[in-house]
Amino acid sequence: MFAQGLWISILAITIRAGTSLLFATIGEIFTERSGVLNLGVEGMMIMGAVCGFAAAFHTGNVWVGVVTAIIVGGLLALIHAFLTITLRADQTVSGLALTIFGSGLASFLGQKLGPGGKPLVGMIGPKFAKLPLPGLSQLPVIGMPLFQQDVLTYFLYGLVPVAWFYLYKTRPGLHLRAVGENPQTADAMGVHVTGIRYLYTVIGGMLVGLGGAHLSLAYTPGWTENLTAGRGWIAIALVIFSTWDPVRAVLGAVLFGGINAVQFRLQAAGTTIPAPFLGMLPYAFTVLVLVIITWWEAFSKRVGAPAALGLPYVREERV
Amino acid sequence: MRGIVKRFPGVLANDRIDFDVRAGEIHALLGENGAGKTTLMNILYGLYRPDQGQILLNGRAVAIHSPADAIRLGIGMIHQHFMLVPTLSVAENVALGLPSSRGFLLDLDVVTRRIRELSNVYGLRVDPTAMVWQLAVGEQQRVEILKALYRGADLLILDEPTAVLTPQEVRELFATLRRMAGEGHSLIFISHKLHEVLSISDRVTVLRDGRVVKTLPTSEATREELARLMVGREVLLRVERSPVELGDVRLSLKDLWAHGDKGVPALRGVTLAVRAGEILGIAGVSGNGQRELAEVIAGLRTPSQGQVEIDGMDTTGWSPERLLKHGLAYIPEERMRDGVVRDFSVEENLILKDHVDRPFASGIFMNFGTIASYADRLIENFDIRTPSRDAPLKNLSGGNIQKIVLARELSREPRVLVAAQPTRGVDISATEYIHQRLIAQRAKGTATLLISEDLDEILNLSDRIAVMYEGQIVGVVDQREATVEQLGLMMAGAHKV
């Protein structure tokens, strides 16, 4: 009986920890599918977290926080889009700059956006409460972990299949995939390459911002320095792990969230393993997964990245 | 098209070009590389904007700002490099960019049905549900044509469509093109292969250096005249090969196996021998292991099994450096990637393989005087057209860059030469020159392995011809007995009869 209770609570934490990550991962999948690599996920996510929390704190409305986070994520992604698509700046450099910029600005805003220009740290604001779904949450074993979550998590349950369907079964999805694989071809077929890249870079940024809001409004409500703690980077790793497929991304998010949950549990149980070591595990796991995937060369080449990922597209360039 | 002008930085690619096509006509556009053929067609298809001039369609001036405009006006283009997304299916590729009959949702079943109809009408066999990466090159080209037809193209531009096909596939393609012309479609056929232009087109327009040299009905044209118009002087279309006394076996491959980039076997038991004074041609459609074969011999790819012997020594697994000291010269298929350094000067590229040795270096110092005089001599001897020996290599034309590779490799007095696609992307005059040098090297007793997709080149230069198919040698024939017909069948996988 105890063992089952333990597993149920681990599963519940898994899902809570994985939610923000999965938002960010799906967002980055859309961006990368269009051929744009945005390494600014960490920066957009933390900006979403701080702005989302600040907006919710001052208005007292979590939804205002969510919308703010989405807009902030989208705006930051727009900077990246302008730099890399219009000005053809190097995508890696621009993305890294965005992360550094976002992290620094978030830290600064966290110092200033509190009541009366004071720090936000330690403030208690509105948060997404758990909303047990009637009926479903009573199911044995999976009821509590899956259906006693916050609204954003339920929204994510819907987003995954919708994202998959959109990508593989709709016309805009086909155009998106084609632009990321071979922009020359897409252009020659009358698809608007630049427009599509802008659109999905911004949409990706919005989802990343939403992931940030989930952190500061639901997962660990409130604002602390370095709240995202590298989740943006993990999301980028999960994109590779998922082979750019939203459904497979779920697996990655659950694995990461699961390791997170297990190490929380171990800490709570008072193990003698040092806490920092446990805290490192999810990240070490991510590195391990990446190494294995990259090693497995045939795998990474066949079902691998969109072929035009990271490459700017210029119509009149002579090759 | 009237008075079309297009400038690229430093080049006048199209200079006041007038060009017209009639309904139901196959009009060939002939010219060397860099003559401006592709640029002109990219303008017609909306990929480039002309700096001057106008385009008239059915007598009305039209503005074509993008491929979408061109498609709307009934213009289709089949590019030299296929415009297909390999990870998508045939139907998805065809549907790309088209409105769906179900609005937001894809209607691949409808598209599939319509593809089948078109396939039947024009005799273009292809499976709409196959993934493009699984298709052979000839099939991919059929997908391209279907794509254009699906969009209702009346005017179809084909940019060097035969470059990647076997002779049989070329024949099928020509049959399709004639059928399309018969149905009233207009076709523009871009090529630099004279016999193809002569056999398929109704009229020919010859371009040289961005200008129209002449437009004439094909029935009034001859091979020699077209070559002269294209190059601007008389051209030798065949090289003279005198018999050469064969020497010892210089290059010997024994049951060679190797993996390709995707981890699957690309060479599956290749056994060959080349003797001194012999050119052995390797024919085959690209992607059948030729590249891997060259790389294994040159020490750039490790074989999984088998042996390479050069001059009687087992050189399997040797480093490229050791191999080139041992007398191996290599003209790589991807010359820009494997053969030269783009940003280095001409002279630096000429001594790339010997720069650490005397007389070009003493210890860690370079002997620039020696290098300069050596470079000047090669530039002179190999007729390399460059502003100076210290001009950056990247400013030179493809033909001249290939001459630099040739000069560097041949002046090392190689015992064995591996020449992969030595004239690909090179214009007729440079090709003529490169062929002469390869023949001259044969007379000096070098053993040459010539890998080429150009059957004419293979037949022209080789003493014996080996055909590669799916990583194996399907047969070796003597040049005097070889026919295009027979080689074509072997290239498609039929064993030697």
Spans of all domains in chain B:
2-231, 249-491
Chains A, B: CB contacts under 8 A, how many? Answer: 82
Q: What is the pLDDT of residue B148?
A: 87
pLDDT tens figures, A209-243: 999 999 999 999 999 999 998 999 999 989 988 88
Tell which B residues from 18 to 47 touch A, by Cβ distance under 8 Å: 45, 47
In chain A, whose CA is at the least distance from the CA of B13? Answer: A318
> Looking at the partner chain, which of B77, B97, B261 has a beta carbon nearest the beta carbon of A191?
B97
Per-residue pLDDT band for B81 (boundaries 50, 70, 90) equals confident
Q: C-alpha distances in angstroms, A59 versus A55, A121, A210, B426?
A: 6, 17, 18, 69
ipTM: 0.78
Q: pLDDT grade, residue B46 (50/70/90)?
A: confident
- What are the pLDDT digits (tens) for A90-126? 999 999 999 999 999 999 999 999 888 889 888 888 9
pLDDT bin (cut points 50, 70, 90) of residue A304 is low
Is A304 a domain residue? Answer: no
For A185, which of B85, B95, B105 is closest by C-beta distance? B85
| CATH code for the structural domain at B2-231 | 3.40.50.300
pLDDT in tens, B181-201: 988 899 999 987 888 889 899
Residue A157 lies in a domain: yes
**pLDDT (0 to 100) of residue A317:** 52
Average pLDDT of the segment spanning B75-104: 86
CB contact under 8 A, B100 and A169: no
Residues B480, B462: Cα–Cα separation, whole Å: 10
The pLDDT mean for chain B works out to 87
State pLDDT tens for residues B116-150: 998 888 878 888 988 888 887 778 888 998 988 88
B19 SS3 class: coil
- B318 vs B396: which has the higher pLDDT: B318
Judge whether residue B237 has pLDDT over 80.
no
Q: Which of A79, A30, A83 is nearest to A210 (CA)?
A: A30
User: What φ, ψ does residue A11 adopt, rounded to 5°?
Assistant: -60, -40
Check for a shared fold between B2-231 and B249-491: yes
- Minimum-distance CB partner of B85 among A173, A181, A302: A181
Q: Which residues of A touch B103 (CB under 8 A)?
A: 171
CA distance B79 to chain A (A): 10
Per-residue pLDDT for B203 more than 90?
yes
- For the segment B280-285, the average pLDDT, to the nearest whole number, is 91
The total of structural domains in chain A comes to 1
Segment (H or E) for A54: helix A41-59
The residue written with tokens 């012309």 in the block is B181
DSSP B146-191: HHHHHTT-SEEEEESTTTT--HHHHHHHHHHHHHHHHTT-EEEEEE
Residue A285: inside a domain: no
Q: Do the domain assignments include residue A201?
A: yes
Chain B residue with minimal CA distance to A182? B85
* Mean confidence (pLDDT) of chain A: 89
* Greatest mean pLDDT among A76-80, B229-233, B377-381: A76-80
CB contact under 8 A, A188 and B47: yes
Among the residue ranges A89-103, B85-99, B460-474, the one predicted with the least confidence is B85-99
| Range with lowest mean pLDDT among A287-301, B221-235, B304-318 | A287-301
pLDDT digits (tens, 9 = 90+) for A147-195: 889 999 999 999 999 999 999 999 999 999 999 998 988 888 888 899 9
- Choose among A28, A80, A7: nearest CA to A258: A7
Q: Nearest CA of chain A to the CA of B108: how many Å? A: 9
Domain region containing A90: 18-122+131-229
Task: Measure the CA–CA gap between B40 and A260, rounded to whole angstroms.
Answer: 60
Domain B249-491 in this protein, CATH class: alpha beta
